[in-house]
Structure 1
Amino acid sequence: MSSNSQIENHESTGPKKKLLDQVRDVLRVKHYSYRTEQSYVQWIRRYILFHDKRHPSEMGAREIEAFLNDLAVKQHVAASTQNQALNALLFLYREVLHLPVEERINALRAKKSERLPVVLTKEEVEAVLNQLSGRNLLIAQLLYGSGLRVLECLRLRVKDVDFGQRQIVVHEGKGDKDRVTLLPARLIPALQLQLKEVKVRHEADLAAGFGRVELPPLCFCAQVPWGGYGMGLAVRFPGFQYIGGSADGH
């Protein structure tokens, strides 16, 4: 049995879920992002492996400090990385295991880097954009002109872009927050062209038996013939790989 599978099963016998599944459940109930979920689970797994697969309920502040010290001294992680590991372990003990943990963990702190951010000039940005074309150029222009993060841009749906108000609605951004940002007027023609291309792709997918989205059985949209087919749900920058779903058997 692999180390990962042993850790997943690192739970006392009985009806309770595996430890890492419990962590995932609590994170989702509290609406943490998927990326945070992946990060926390990974740090908890590493913590358990570091202590020879002892169950976290058998450990406490001393073991947390030893793990964090190793990250700082031997693995030379950044301060932000060490803080992320600490946050994951505090979440495990307080929110999942419901065990008290000392407020102050006396671990050696990783050295915090003090570097100024690199800010490109307008000329440098223009030089970068001049090396791009097509869809990649449009994505980069949105990142720069609308202040979108990479994942926010790639997850945009047709319904999120309001050409009339010249604005973009970002759903579930950083901190699981929605926000509205501007849509530069000069990008509207390129976005409208991208929309036409997405529509052609969407119609071709439907004709080939793809292009549906899975909806809960009790959802109103799932009760009507056009449920799951709307262009409003289409991704503005779709991928090139088909992923099957169970709603229609494809």
Structure 2
Amino acid sequence: MGQEPRLLELVRQKIRLKHYSIRTEESYIGWIKRYIYFHDKQHPKDMGRAEIEAFLSDLAIRGKVSASTQNQAFSALLFLYVKVLNIDVFDNIDAFRAKMPQRLPTVLTFDETMEILDAMTDVFQLIAKILYGCGLRGIECVRLRVKDADFGLNQIIVRDGKGKKRSYNYAAGRD
């Protein structure tokens, strides 16, 4: 008789079945481990809404994490309970929420961007120009192959983009 897979292995299997990125897998596993250790290694199936609220509130109050970090932890626990354990304990979660930043993002002007690109050389300049001109994610850019550039159609084809949903065509910028 085979032994039943451990909890974190079940989480990995479900994440891979849904074709989430390896970065999402690493993040979710990390948050689930932190949640379990926060509650003295109790199994999540033996915990519920109160424990989730306590963990998320602690992240915001003692951990002083950003709102997006707290949301990422929430998403990991949501995945764990709903997709892996098939338990829905997420009605009316009332955790203390981390504050959203009150600052505006710093955005470079076009001229500042061109100055930075001109200061770069070789492959770094090429990568930066593709990221800026086509709006690719970093991992999508470094995975590009020569055959993904279609100079006749002035396009770049991105295969296995985020979530491996489909291929994208980005029209290359013109000088």
TM-score category (smaller protein)? over 0.9
Correspondence for 2:147: 159
State the percentage of identical aligned residues: 54
Answer yes or no: is the 8 Å Cα contact 2:14–2:83 preserved in 1. Answer: yes
Contact 1:142 1:153 in 2 (8 A): yes
CA contact (8 A) 1:78 1:110 kept: yes
Contact residue 166 and residue 185 of structure 1 kept, 8 A: no
Quick check: 132-141 or 166-175, which moved more? 166-175
Pick one of 124, 149, 156 that aligns with 1:136: 124
Q: Distance in 1 between matches of 2:9 and 2:90?
A: 25
CA contact (8 A) 1:146 1:181 kept: yes
Partner residue in 2 for 1:82? 70
Using the size of structure 2 for normalisation, the TM-score is 0.92
How far apart, in 2, do the equivalents of 1:106 and 1:45 lie? 22
Give SS of 1:84's match. Answer: helix
Q: Give the drift of 1:116.
A: 2.3
In 2, are the aligned partners of 1:170 and 1:180 still within 8 Å (CA)? yes
Tell which structure's C-alpha radius of gyration is larger: 1
- Counterparts of 1:104 and 1:159 in 2: how far apart (Å)? 50
> CA separation of 1:52/1:26 partners in 2, compared to 1, >3 Å: closer, same or farther?
same
Q: Does residue 183 in structure 1 map to residue 160 in structure 2?
A: no
- Per the alignment, residue 113 of structure 2 pairs with 125
**Structure 2 counterpart of 1:131, which letter?**
A
> Do 1:31 and 1:176's aligned partners in 2 also have CA atoms closer than 8 Å?
yes
Report matched runs for 1:57-68 at 5 Å: 57-68=45-56
**Offset of 1:163 from its aligned partner?**
1.1
In 2: Cα distance, 1:175 partner to 1:119 partner? 27
SS in 1 for 2:119: coil
- CA distance in 1 between partners of 2:171 and 2:154 (Å): 6
Structure 2 unmatched runs, 5+: none
Distance 2:134 2:88 in 1: 44
Gaps of 5+ in 1: 1-13, 187-250
Count of residue pairs the alignment pairs up: 173
**Residue 130 of structure 1: SS of its match in structure 2?**
helix
TM-superposed CA distance for 1:115, in Å, is: 2.8
SS at match of 1:21: helix
Question: TM-score scaled to structure 1, two decimals?
Answer: 0.66
